[in-house]
Structure 1
């Protein structure tokens, strides 16, 4: 059973994206969490917090670790997260005398947030590649149809003739700005989360900052102070997701309107109707509008998750888990759909408006 069209066995063909969804699978989450624990052991051994033999025992146990999923599920319902039970199982797998040093100085949020950032880093690379691909496809449309003419429309009323290139430019320009925004955003987004129980790394004493620096380097992340209750960068990221889908929704809305008369634009492979076989519905264009509106609505929830109580909030943090993955998958699906839609434009505008009313 599923409660989301993003992973529905049928509806996901329209609204989902398997490539993006894999970054939010339990397998990907667990792998990133274990990478954190291995890197933490290495960083602590490097800085003399734990012995090298202890680090080797932890890393070896993690390499062959298979969690008890049923117990993780049961414990998560009790603890509100899976990390306490995961750490318990890891310590048992490592065994005496080294097991007690697993996760030393860290807290559950360090593991979960860093796991998220590691997976977002891979996800974002894919989104950026799709933005670049769509940019190139719009460029190809401009080369093919840019000199054609069509009627400019303002406030849903015919205005003055424009070139197809003018409308394409309006679709294309935001993509480049989004890529620029992503470059700047990534500097803050892809940073390690490591603060310990209350954000002060109190268990590590004067070794705290060297360990955090080494941990970040081993994970390929930036080294910055903990951000347990500071969620503005994640809110910025989801704002970026909504900006991307909003721009793609504008593209979809324009195509939907142009398809009304069947003359301004022609699309390959429109959707069929069960009642009217002659119709070719602009399904891909409509989907872009839907995904844009979906992300715009979810963004308000991500802004609600900024409100953390004191050093950590359980409720605000959990809200992110509900919203961010769906927004990311919606954005990936929108980019994929937009590429397909742009590729399938067979006619755009007219070579001349002479004789047209």
Structure 2
């Protein structure tokens, strides 16, 4: 039993997404932070901040690094972040005399936020692929069944007959606009965070910008010239995009659930959920979960806007809130996109009598 439905032993059958969840696992997080530390050491060696022999030792020592998660848990309980305990373990893995150069000039948020950016790149790639797949399915559905005449409904009441193409377009067009918005979202969140204790890179002197630029190039992240530890508008914009996607899918799910009612019969589902008491029923489970996930992300979005409020140069409270909310929103969006594909597969519009 777990506190979250996404990795629950049986609720995950409805709400789980192993592919997206894997990017928010401790294993993926540690791997990305190790990548940050190795890239940092290489960048500092190239700029003459540390010796090449130190960078070589750090890369060798961290190549197969496997931390003690119980020790990391204890460290987080004390420090509020994992980096002090993690860096200590990394320094031990590298050993003397070069271990002390691990994490040189960086701060905890540099490693944690850069790890998130690296993993969000993979998450957004998965979501984009699924979103494009849903748009393609809607285009195919419109081409095949767009001419079927169905009843339009305004304010839940029968209005006038329209073509199914009108319905399908109202589902497809917002999703296409979300694809257009995605590049801006990527630019805002796929950013290297490297500023040192308070964003000044004070330990690197005039070599800081060169090290930062090299790290960004190697990691495939955008280089920004000013500290942005407490600027969380990119993360909030991502959360907004995730909620927009699930909201549009929720609208589709709501429409399909209503049209699939026995009394309406405007669409036929390829499959549905069974009932323990009424064997004749075919419940629109796939459509319903889209509505649930839309409402879930809309609720969490308010919390992500709360996480914009960082005190001064860094906030422990707002930052921790972001850790709690953003992964859930990303997983919910992945689940919604996957379920939409299954829902549209075999969906059939029924013409008016």
Would you say same fold, with TM above 0.5? Answer: yes
For 1:109, the equivalent position in structure 2 comes to: 109
Say if 1:138 and 1:168, in contact at 8 Å, map to a contact too: yes
- Mapped to 2, the partners of 1:293 and 1:33 lie a distance apart of 33
Aligned to 1:77: 77
CA separation in 1, counterparts of 2:182 and 2:55? 36
Query: 1:297 maps to what in 2?
Result: 299
Are residue 35 (structure 1) and residue 35 (structure 2) matched?
yes
CA distance in 2, matches of 1:74, 1:58: 24
TM-score in terms of structure 2 length: 0.98
Deviation, structure 1 residue 262: 5.4
SS at match of 1:64: coil
SS of 1:152's equivalent in the other structure is strand
* 1:141 aligned partner: 141
CA displacement, residues 323-347 of structure 1 (integer Å, 9 cap, x when unaligned): 00100000000000011101131x2
Aligned partners of 1:254, 1:271: CA distance in 2, in Å?
Answer: 17
Offset from partner CA, 1:71-123 (integer Å, 9 cap, x none): 11111111111110110111111111111111000000000000001000001
* Conserved? CA contact 2:259–2:267, under 8 Å: yes
Asked whether the equivalents of residues 43 and 211 of structure 1 are also in contact (C-alpha less than 8 Å), the reply is: yes
Q: After the TM superposition, which parts of structure 1 deviate over 2 Å for at least 4 consecutive aligned residues?
A: none
- Residue 318, structure 1, aligned to residue 320, structure 2: yes
Contact 1:128 1:179 in 2 (8 A): yes
Give the aligned partner of residue 201 of structure 2. Answer: 201
> 1:198-243 CA distances to partner (integer Å, 9 max, x unpaired)?
1111111101111100011111111013321010100000000000
Partner of 1:172: 172
Q: Which residue of 2 aligns with 1:335?
A: 337
How far, CA to CA, are the matches of 1:72 and 1:344 in structure 2?
48
Whether contact under 8 Å (1:90, 1:102) holds in the other structure is yes
Contact 2:268–2:350, Cα closer than 8 Å, also in 1: no
CA displacement, residues 7-62 of structure 1 (integer Å, 9 cap, x when unaligned): 10100110121110000001100000000000000111111111100100001001
Residue segments in structure 2 that go unaligned for 5+ positions in a row: none
- Aligned pair count? 351
Q: Is the 8 A contact 2:114 2:192 kept in 1?
A: yes
Quote the residue 1:245 is aligned against.
246
Kindly report the root-mean-square deviation, in angstroms, between the aligned alpha carbons of the 2 structures: 0.9
- Pair 1:123 & 2:123 matched: yes
Which of 275, 278, 281 is residue 280 of structure 2 equivalent to? 278
